Structure 1
């Protein structure tokens, strides 16, 4: 939802000029497509969740039989139907999002098994794709190079966010053959990789903003990065124990930088 709104802002088009597209896109990106991806993941991960979180709806039996699968399939169909209301750009982006959700969770691809490909796909799907979509729909065309580049950088950085998210499933992943980075590298090394993965793309964002003469916004993103570095020092003292804490603090700073960058792009006329 946040990434779609960032994309809409970065388009430079006044949000109140297209309220239907803004609101519908946010609802589609969040409760519908993201909700669908979670439903698909819950179904495909029911065996892992039985180890890590046995009280979740499917492993606990509160969602019986194959109802979890039917819910995920129904939400996939709903996603495509709503995406069609947003025109060609919205529909194509929705198709990509639905495909990515199933490719991440379901056999035979199940990219979640890879600690490199899985988080990368999710990062691009959660940040880059909705940002691009919001900008394209509001601008009624292909976003400019700087908008696409910034959206891509934040999606790449989200690889680190998803790696930290994998810490909570460490035991179940290890037992079921999911090779997340915490499993294959260990918590300490995985946390360091996640931190680098988040920081380096944001430095790239600063470079883009400086190239557009958005020095104040670049400086604000720099301040946000410094605050993240302070939080990362806490994280690295106890990666497994502090990962949930960082997800509630450092990630807020990360997505704050996204919106700062979106306003910078809108103010520099970076979109056609």
Structure 2
């Protein structure tokens, strides 16, 4: 008994060091980040104007594809390629802390990529195309040689396209079983463009660290004040176009609702994002306040627009 005990202990600890704990894997995949693409996916589902009855399993599968698979994969590959920086700045994260040991971060990203494509293949050609584009952008965002995240203009565009436009397109494509109506694609593209501004605000939380590490986010390149003004314009202009389109399609009520949401955003932009002194002193706090208020109104406008085009398409069916 005494000789067996020492021999089993090393094997147990070696196993623990070799394989990641499930809780650490879940932390690596960051469930809190899944909400934006899942919301956009549901906007796509609603915008198709097709009844949910008999399609609940398909919708659930699409939600899994948008959030727990594609978005989660992007988080894993991002943490893998940031592991050396995280070892200095955030050593408690799953990979630098050793809770996801060895190359498991890379393995998980690879497996999730394959699982995403496998699930997408069940929904037809256009869902596979959208998923493939999203996966390519996710890898290009984090991985060399492109590593789009090192320049805010490109990196923010990649994230905005994945989180908003492609997720919206996927939801509609799953519902219609093919290429969505051109008006759905236009709305998805417009809200995707506006999301570039949201991504710029997200970069306010790490201006100092990004500057030290040479990550050229938009706030680092042009300063917090100019970046806030730019983000405001980028978020507002696509919504103005959306309002015009909704009016041209005879959706006056939906256009009025989106207009009201935009006016509330403009008030919040003036209150927070145009405050040069506070932006200089507390950029992280100001961006967080706006993201909790103005960005919420933005995504509500997405849903209103989705209901509008959905009602139009269902009425014309």
TM-score of the aligned structures, taking structure 2 as reference length: 0.81
Instruction: State how far apart, in whole Å, the 2-side matches of 1:145 and 1:139 are.
Output: 12
Deviation at 1:21, TM superposition (A): 1.4
Which stretch of the first structure deviates more once superposed, 11-20 or 191-200?
11-20
Structure 1 position 184 matched with structure 2 position 221: yes
- In the other structure, the counterpart of 2:310 is 266
Query: Counterparts in 2 of 1:173-212, with a 5 A limit?
Result: 173-212=210-249
Q: Is the 8 A contact 1:128 1:154 kept in 2?
A: yes
Deviation at 1:51, TM superposition (A): 5.0
Q: Is the 8 A contact 1:231 1:250 kept in 2?
A: yes
Task: Find the partner of 1:85 among 122, 132, 137.
Answer: 122
Q: Is the 8 A contact 2:159 2:199 kept in 1?
A: yes
Q: Deviation digits for residues 148-206 of structure 1, max 9, x if unmatched? A: 11110000000011111111222222122211001101111111111111011111110
Deviation at 1:106, TM superposition (A): 0.5
Query: Counterparts in 2 of 1:223-238, with a 5 A limit?
Result: 223-236=260-273, 237=275, 238=278
Instruction: State how far apart, in whole Å, the 2-side matches of 1:230 and 1:205 are.
Output: 19
Q: Is the 8 A contact 1:52 1:169 kept in 2?
A: no
Instruction: State how far apart, in whole Å, the 1-side matches of 2:237 and 2:208 are.
Output: 29
Which of structures 1 and 2 has the bigger CA Rg? 2
Q: Is the 8 A contact 1:127 1:151 kept in 2?
A: yes
Instruction: State how far apart, in whole Å, the 1-side matches of 2:88 and 2:249 are.
Output: 50
Deviation at 1:235, TM superposition (A): 2.5
Q: Is the 8 A contact 2:194 2:236 kept in 1?
A: yes
Deviation at 1:256, TM superposition (A): 0.4
- In the other structure, the counterpart of 1:146 is 183
Structure 1 position 257 matched with structure 2 position 301: yes
- In the other structure, the counterpart of 1:64 is 101
Deviation at 1:91, TM superposition (A): 1.8
- In the other structure, the counterpart of 1:248 is 292
Structure 1 position 8 matched with structure 2 position 45: yes
Instruction: State how far apart, in whole Å, the 2-side matches of 1:60 and 1:233 are.
Output: 42
Q: Is the 8 A contact 2:125 2:178 kept in 1?
A: no
Task: Find the partner of 1:115 among 129, 152, 155.
Answer: 152
Task: Find the partner of 1:32 among 66, 69, 72.
Answer: 69
**3-state DSSP of counterpart to 1:15:** coil
Deviation at 1:94, TM superposition (A): 1.4
Deviation at 1:137, TM superposition (A): 1.8
Q: Deviation digits for residues 67-88 of structure 1, max 9, x if unmatched? A: 2212211211111111112222
Instruction: State how far apart, in whole Å, the 2-side matches of 1:256 and 1:200 are.
Output: 16
